Structure formats: structure tokens, C-alpha cells
Amino acid sequence: MPPLPDAFYKDPALTAFMEKIGPCRLTSSSQQSLYTALIRAVTGQQLHNAAAERIFARLCSLSPSENLTPPSPEKLLLFSDTELRTCGLSFAKMNTLREIAKSRQEGIIPSLEEAQKHDDEALISQLTTIKGVGRWTVEMMLIFTLHRPDIFPAGDFGVQEGWRRLHSMPERLSPKKLRLATLSFSPSRSILTWYCWQAKALLPAIPHTKHPKTL
């Protein structure tokens, strides 16, 4: 791993936290297509990991294969609402999955090889044209599937709250202010993201000084 930017060591609170918990242990889900990554992300939205995995497994079982992979775009578009509902999917998620399937057929969702030719913002712009797919979903895919090193999902609650707890702030920063505050951590902001998630998980909550809102 290349050396981290100086910003990591010029932030006393972050430096102390890094020394306490050790090196970044961010893991990536290799051998997974962007199509599969998006399907998995949408099925798991707003669910705990165990529930998300159950629903994804049920969806995959509609078109069994040796590996746990979702139905191809062609097959997915053939399933009825009733069949998809048996997997535990809401109507909103079913519609988004169908949009993802159509987008893969139309080439909007690239292959892994094709995706490597595009920078982060180009992929975010392209994939968020899919109805139901937002910036956060694509950012997670960039981190965990494409292993991009400089992704900082400033709109993620865990990232916002982790940064707040690290720096003992009375309120969370808005996504815009948080992005500006962390620009100097480029080109290693995916690592900063991981440390923010760990701070949210490990550091004690800080009471808000007023009605909770972002600054």
C-alpha cells in the first residue's frame, strides 16, 4: 500500500485513533460483476446484513447456479411481481432491479474490464442515470467491487457520524462541508472512509447540543 497523505498524520484525533485500532482492514468483494454488485446493493438497502443476505439468496435461487449469482438481465425481466415478492422484495426494489437489468442490456452498466477505463465521477454520473440507483449505492460499489482508493461517501450517515465522534463535534457536517474538510486526504479517501466507519462503531456517542441537524 502506498504511503498515506500527510493529512492523515496532521489530524491528531485521527492519528491517535489509527494508532489505537491499527491499519485499515478494508476488504473488497472480488470476482463480482457491476451488475451483481448493484443487484446486491439494492436488495440490501435499509436492511441488516443477515436479512439482506437472505433476500439476495432467495433472488439467486430463482435461477440456480453453482455460484451465488442473481438471474441474468434477460431472466430477471421475465419474473412476475409475485415471483419477486416471494424473495422479500418491495415493489420499489423490484422496479429498481428491473431498471438495472434493462441498463445492463443497454450497456449503461459496463463490464468490469470496461469500468476500469472510466474514472470515479464518470461512473457515478453514468450509473446514477438508472432510476432508483443513487450516488451512495455507486460509491459502495466503487469501494467494494472496483477497489477504488479515493472514494469518500460524504452523504453516508456512518461516515458523517464517525467524523463527528473523532473530532468531538457538536453536530454532523453537511456532505458539502465534509467533502471540503477531507479533500487533503486524497488520493486515499477510501481508507479515511473505513476509519470513519470504525469511529462510528467504536467511539462513544456524543450528545447533540441542539436539535440534531447537519451543519
**Distance set, CA 190 to CA 55, 70, 187 (Å):** 28, 27, 8
Q: Based on the domain organization, do 92 and 185 belong to the same domain? A: no
Q: Based on the domain organization, do 128 and 175 belong to the same domain? A: no
Q: Based on the domain organization, do 46 and 101 belong to the same domain? A: yes
For residue 213, being part of any structural domain is answered with no
Q: Based on the domain organization, do 47 and 138 belong to the same domain? A: yes
| CATH label of the domain that carries residue 93 | 1.10.340.30
What is the pLDDT, as a whole number, of residue 189? 98
For residue 51, the one-letter residue type is A
Instruction: Quick: pLDDT tens for 125-135.
Output: 999 999 999 99
Q: Based on the domain organization, do 15 and 101 belong to the same domain? A: no
For residue 139, being part of any structural domain is answered with yes
Q: Based on the domain organization, do 165 and 188 belong to the same domain? A: yes
What range does the domain containing 122 cover? 34-144
Work out how many domains the chain is built from and give that number: 2
Instruction: Quick: pLDDT tens for 87-98.
Output: 999 999 999 999
Q: Based on the domain organization, do 111 and 173 belong to the same domain? A: no
For residue 212, being part of any structural domain is answered with no
Dihedral of the alpha carbons of 204, 209, 210, 215, in degrees to the nearest 10: -80
For residue 1, being part of any structural domain is answered with no
Q: Is the pLDDT of residue 1 over 90?
A: no
Instruction: Indicate the pLDDT class of residue 9, thresholds 50, 70 and 90.
Output: very high
Q: Based on the domain organization, do 62 and 118 belong to the same domain? A: yes
Instruction: Quick: pLDDT tens for 158-174.
Output: 999 999 999 999 999 99
| CATH label of the domain that carries residue 192 | 1.10.1670.40
Neighbours of 131 (CB within 10 A): 12
Distance CA 121, CA 139 (A): 10
Whether 6 is a known active-site residue: answer no
Instruction: Indicate the pLDDT class of residue 195, thresholds 50, 70 and 90.
Output: very high
Instruction: Indicate the pLDDT class of residue 65, thresholds 50, 70 and 90.
Output: confident
Q: Based on the domain organization, do 45 and 139 belong to the same domain? A: yes
| φ and ψ of 152, to 5 deg | -130, 95
What is the pLDDT, as a whole number, of residue 30? 62
The mean of the pLDDT values for the chain is: 93
For residue 64, being part of any structural domain is answered with yes
For residue 10, being part of any structural domain is answered with yes
Q: Of the residues 6, 11, 150, 156, which is catalytic?
A: 156
What is the pLDDT, as a whole number, of residue 141? 94
**Distance set, CA 22 to CA 18, 143, 160, 185, 192 (Å):** 5, 20, 21, 18, 13
Q: Based on the domain organization, do 73 and 17 belong to the same domain? A: no
Q: Based on the domain organization, do 21 and 71 belong to the same domain? A: no
Q: Based on the domain organization, do 58 and 107 belong to the same domain? A: yes
